[in-house]
Amino acid sequence: MESIDEKYVQLTRAGLPDDLCLTWCHEDNMEEVARKFGADMETGIWASVDEIEELEEEDDLGVLIELDSLGEWVVAFEPNGNEGARETVMESISTDGRAFSIFWNVELDSSILYAVGGRIITSFTLLDIEQRSGSDPTALNDMLAELGLHNGLSTPARKARLLALGEMISGQPITPEWLRSPKLTFQINDPIQDPLVPREYLNPRASFLDDPEFTRILAGPSADMAPAVTKMIASIVVSATIPENLLAKNALRVLNLGERLQGERERLQEQLFEQASNESRKANSLHSETTPHAEEEEEAKKARRSAHVLSILARALNPHPVNAAYGAAVEAASLPLPSKADAMRLKVLWNVARHIEGSIYRSEP
């Protein structure tokens, strides 16, 4: 029998891209799934692989979504999109059933979401399988254990098992033949907008929403507000996790006061990425012990958290303000925090960063 890793190699050879969003929807109506993704229903056509490639080369098209039925499920394939990685979309397509999505790109931005009955049950990232959030973060534990999916694996091995997880949840395999088969293809020209503040934060109203800086950000979520979003994200994650870390303190100083010397931002960003990589290797080394002690497990957890935060700060130092806000927000969205209020703050800031990034994309000619 073909192993999970061998199958993943076969799928990549058959055209599975490095930038990928794949969503399984427990729904037997492809048009209904397309509508809930926000597709322009008048653009739907059955297209072959070659025809889809021609469509992708047309600059004036929106995001393409390719749909096909597999048993009682519809699978949505986005080679260069990430609509299925958005909670708003996942809540919509899972209203009457279940949905599971995987997303990653070449920079290893990623999101894995499992939704049931219109609610996000479990979410995590490719880089940190073991830190999960949602209404029931443990919901997929048995499946993850059966697949051997954990942080000690290489990135390709994690990707292979996440694909296998989608197959296990749906009972429907993804094959090279399926990848190359014609798909019902739609354009998403006007993506569904996320509410900046989740409904559950309004009743009762979260007190932080009335903080002056939050009020200012929410009143004008434009590109001009991107630096304020970035600074707030960085401040929250550092104060909640590694407040005494010297690199983290320097990152906050540069974000708030600017560079003291030319090139300081770039050098600090490189140091943050390097230290994040070191912390990640340390965590994997500790976790790979055959019979790790409780102290080693705790040390591995701290190292993973430090790696996560340092990566957030490195992205926050991107010289392009909108990219900095978006990059920091997407990394921070999956960071587990002891304070529920801080986690809620990051959720709102993530929504604001996506709104800003999306408005820039939509305004481009």
What SS3 string covers 242-265?
Answer: CCCCHHHHHHHHHHHHCCCCCCHH
pTM tops 0.75, yes or no: no
Output the pLDDT for position 1: 47
- CA-to-CA dists, residue 156 to 7, 12, 267, 286, 308, angstroms: 11, 11, 30, 21, 20
Tell me the C-alpha distance between 232 and 201, whole Å: 19
State both tokens at 146. 């059966």
Rounded mean pLDDT, 121-127: 91
Output the pLDDT for position 60: 60
pLDDT in tens, 233-283: 999 999 999 999 999 999 999 999 999 999 999 999 999 999 999 988 888
The model's confidence at residue 103, banded by pLDDT at 50, 70 and 90, is very high
Residues 6+ apart with CB under 8 A from 162: 102, 112, 126, 149
201 pLDDT higher than 70:
yes
Fill in the amino acid letter for 147.
Answer: L
Average pLDDT, the chain: 89
46 pLDDT higher than 50:
yes
Output the pLDDT for position 365: 47
The dihedrals phi and psi of 321, each to the nearest 5 degrees, come to -55, -45
Q: Answer whether 77's CB lies under 8 Å from 47's CB.
A: no
Q: What is the DSSP string of 1-30?
A: ---HHHHHHHHHHTT--SSEEEEEES-S-H
Output the pLDDT for position 300: 82
Output the pLDDT for position 283: 81
In this structure, of 61-65, 85-89, 96-100, 174-178, the range with the lowest mean pLDDT score is 61-65
Torsion of CA 63, 68, 74, 77, to 10 degrees: -30
Tell me the C-alpha distance between 10 and 141, whole Å: 27
The beta-strand segments (E) located in the chain are: 20-25, 40-47, 63-70, 73-78, 98-104, 110-116, 119-124, 183-188
91 pLDDT higher than 80:
yes
15 pLDDT higher than 80:
yes
Residues 6+ apart with CB under 8 A from 91: 115, 118, 119, 120
Q: Which of 128, 143, 352 is nearest to 231 (CA)?
A: 352
pLDDT in tens, 27-36: 989 999 999 9
State the first-to-last Cα distance of the chain, in angstroms, to the nearest integer. 50
Output the pLDDT for position 99: 97
Rounded mean pLDDT, 200-212: 89
Q: Answer whether 83's CB lies under 8 Å from 62's CB.
A: no
Q: Answer whether 232's CB lies under 8 Å from 217's CB.
A: yes
Output the pLDDT for position 198: 81
pLDDT in tens, 184-200: 999 988 787 778 888 77
Q: Answer whether 36's CB lies under 8 Å from 2's CB.
A: no
pLDDT in tens, 302-349: 888 899 999 999 999 999 999 999 999 988 988 888 888 999 999 999
Residues 6+ apart with CB under 8 A from 131: 124, 125, 304, 308, 334, 335, 336
